[in-house]
Structure 1
Amino acid sequence: MTKLADAAADFLASKRIAVTGVSRNPAGHGSNAVYDRLVERGFEVFPVNPNADLIGDKPCYPDLASIPGGVDAVVIGTSPAHAQATVEQAVAAGITKVWMHRSVDAGSVDPSAVAYGREHGLTVIDGGCPLMFDPAADGGHKFMCGLLKLMGRVPRTV
């Protein structure tokens, strides 16, 4: 098992990151907050949503395989029902780092998809948010990380 902080640092060392579930209507969508913050912090980020062609003025991709040049990591921000398909796409594309976003609700974590990814050699972070860790973090997310660890909503190891 790897400490969450170490897995998060490795994930956020990725240069090209896909974020699934980014919406054309960003209000209330955690994926949009993650996408926007990673862009703001200088990451090369690719929105993934099969129902959108553009997010703002940036191209949006229907799946991981459609991203030109591929990515190093993916944040899953869709419902848990879509996590398995995304993890299967990650395995097929050679992506080795997956983060299933979760805050106080079920988020995007699907235990079967977590197991599948790990069985196929992926590092799967099953909870929390990339914005809880530097260099993407802010004070509010760091506070939330500590609170959610106490609640068992953020893993201590992956």
Structure 2
Amino acid sequence: MPVDTTEAIEDVLEYETIAVVGCSSTPGKAAHDVPKYLLDHGYDVIPVNPYADEIFGREVYDSLDDVEESIDVVCIFRPSEEVGEIVDAALERDDVAVIWTQQGIRDDDAAARAESDGRTVVQDRCMKVEHRRIAP
């Protein structure tokens, strides 16, 4: 079952490297503003978007498969119907500890696959909102 307690979310927010699938280069969109907030608060944000070359002055990867750095959390800003494929790509990696789908995004089947593979899952929550609520 996806985590939903404050303590469990606090634990997730302790991770440092977040790959943001669907990261946007357009200010004003949640898929841009949330990762920018995370970057501004000390997280190492890795943008993943096949339609951009650079976001936040950082190299953008086409897919999770292309990311060379180690990833702690995969944060998903894509429609719910795309989550399963993204989760499957995350499960191919040994380094991903957490799958996080942003507010309004969920796939219970994909979440169950991730959890049965030993990954932590957070669904339908905004990382920025949770960080602001929990962080000192």
Which residue in the other structure is 1:67 paired with? 67
Which residue in the other structure is 2:92 paired with? 92
In 2, are the aligned partners of 1:4 and 1:125 still within 8 Å (CA)?
A: no
- Look at both structures and tell me which one has the larger radius of gyration over its CA atoms: 1
Unaligned residue ranges in structure 1 (runs of 5+): 143-158
2:81 maps to amino acid = A
Q: State whether structure 2 residue 18 is matched by structure 1 residue 21.
A: no
TM-score (norm 2): 0.86
Unaligned residue ranges in structure 2 (runs of 5+): none
Mapped to 2, the partners of 1:37 and 1:56 lie a distance apart of: 11
Which residue in the other structure is 1:123 paired with? 120
The DSSP-based 3-state class of the residue aligned with 2:92 is helix
Over the matched positions of the two proteins, sequence identity in percent amounts to 28
Mapped to 2, the partners of 1:41 and 1:87 lie a distance apart of: 26
In 1, are the aligned partners of 2:4 and 2:122 still within 8 Å (CA)?
A: no
Q: C-alpha deviations, 1:59-86, integer Å up to 9, x for none?
A: 1111122222221111111111221111
Shift in Å at residue 108 of structure 1?
2.1
Shift in Å at residue 132 of structure 1?
2.2
In 2, are the aligned partners of 1:75 and 1:98 still within 8 Å (CA)?
A: yes
1:112 maps to amino acid = D
Q: State whether structure 2 residue 77 is matched by structure 1 residue 81.
A: no
In 1, are the aligned partners of 2:98 and 2:121 still within 8 Å (CA)?
A: yes
Mapped to 1, the partners of 2:33 and 2:55 lie a distance apart of: 13
Which residue in the other structure is 2:109 paired with? 112
Q: C-alpha deviations, 1:73-118, integer Å up to 9, x for none?
A: 111111112211111111111212011111xxxx221222212212
Shift in Å at residue 3 of structure 1?
4.6
Q: 1:35 to 1:74 in 2, by over 3 A?
A: same
Q: Which runs of 4+ in 1 moved over 4 A?
A: none
TM-score (norm 1): 0.75
In 2, are the aligned partners of 1:8 and 1:130 still within 8 Å (CA)?
A: no
